[in-house]
Structure 1
Amino acid sequence: MNVTLKFIGLVAILLVGVVLGLQTAERGLQKVEGVPAQNPQSFYIKKVDNGKMEIAVMGKQLSADAGKATTYVSRFGETLGDAVKDGTRKLIEWVAAFF
Structure 2
Amino acid sequence: MNVTVKLAGMVVILLIGVALGLQTAERGIHKVSGTPEQQPQTFYIKKLDKGQMEIAVMGTQVQAAAPREMVNYVSSAGQTLGRLVKEGTKSAVEWVARIFAP
- Confirm or deny a common fold (TM above 0.5): no
Larger radius of gyration: 1
TM-score bin, normalised by smaller chain: 0.3 to 0.5
Between Structure 1 and Structure 2, which shows a larger proportion of helix residues? Answer: 2
Between Structure 1 and Structure 2, which shows a larger proportion of strand residues? Answer: 1
TM-score (norm 1): 0.36
TM-score (norm 2): 0.35
